[in-house]
Amino acid sequence: MTSEATRQPGWAGDEYAQSSSHHRVYDDWFLAQRPPVPSDHVIDAGCGSGEFTAVLAGLVPDGHVLGVDPDASMLEAAARHWADNLEFRQGRIQDLDHVCEPESVNLVVSRAVFHWIPFADYVRCYRAIFVVLRPGGWLHAESGGAGNVRHFRPLLSEVATQLGLKPETVTFPDAGSVLELLEQVGFEVPPSGVTTVAQRRPFDREQLLAWVRTQAYVAYGVHPSDDLHTRFVNAVGDRIDEARRHDGTYDQTFVRLHVLARRPTKDS
């Protein structure tokens, strides 16, 4: 019988922080799409363990950054990055307009979060972000898009099925669907505001298995303290060589859905 712990998936913030380097490789790419300015007031929606949130705080010395995440272990790990212009609060993106003040920031950033949110909740998320943005403020986000890690996912799902775990619960939407939701909420989207980009992300064998252990398991409803987590990771480890790329490396193809959308100014 599946335990209550297994039915309630969660994160382990410290372990996640040690295995998120594949995201950090693309920090500069992301920042170049909408560079923060020193006076920006920013929300990092789904800040996780806070490494990128701290980068943002360093880029806005005359502004302020608020990291928001629903997971207590992530916020505990993020707290080590405290700075005078950086704080953290607990909350979901769906509830951002209750966690943060209306029209309080001119930039909402979100990295590697939306694929963990059901697509049915996207409109609620975008509306909450719209509310906390000042007129003229920007939403800048990236998350998994259609085709993300498409060669590795069947292996993960096969192992999960063999262990009696639920099917994966991740959202990798196409750009067109997201564009229409943003416009429905009222955002202005520039011509290249919603795109997908394929990225070759570097992993060695141990790094790829660490990604499974600290991140991918969440898609299958496993709690990090439950025995099924260990069994899932070990079973994937036994087959990890099947995840090699055509050139023999363990690098993986991530497809990122990149979003840049603006709340209209009041006179537009």
**What pLDDT is recorded for position 226?**
86
Q: Which candidate, 252, 35, 56, 30, places its Cα nearest to that of 142?
A: 30
119: tokens are 């697509």
Q: Does residue 230 surpass a pLDDT of 90?
A: yes
The tens digit of pLDDT for each residue in 122-160 reads 999 999 999 999 999 999 999 999 999 999 999 999 999
Asked if residue 135 is part of any domain, the answer here is yes
Whole-number Å distance between alpha carbons of 62 and 84? 11
Residue 79 makes CB contacts below 8 A (sequence gap 6+) with 50, 88
> Quick check: is 268 in a domain?
no
For residues 100 and 20, which has the higher predicted lDDT (pLDDT)?
100
- Tens of pLDDT, residues 6-16: 334 588 878 88
- Domain range enclosing 107: 4-262
CA 63 – CA 86 distance, rounded (Å): 9
22 domain residue, yes or no: yes
CATH number at residue 230: 3.40.50.150
Residues 6+ apart with CB under 8 A from 206: none
Please report whether residue 241 resides in a domain.
yes
Specify the pTM. 0.93
Whether 38 maps to a domain, the answer reads yes
Write out pLDDT tens, residues 158-199. 999 999 998 999 999 999 999 999 999 999 999 999 999 999
Q: What is the pLDDT of residue 3?
A: 35
**pLDDT of the residue at 268:** 54
267 within domain boundaries? no
248 CB-near residues (< 8 Å, 6+ apart): none
Number of domains in the chain: 1
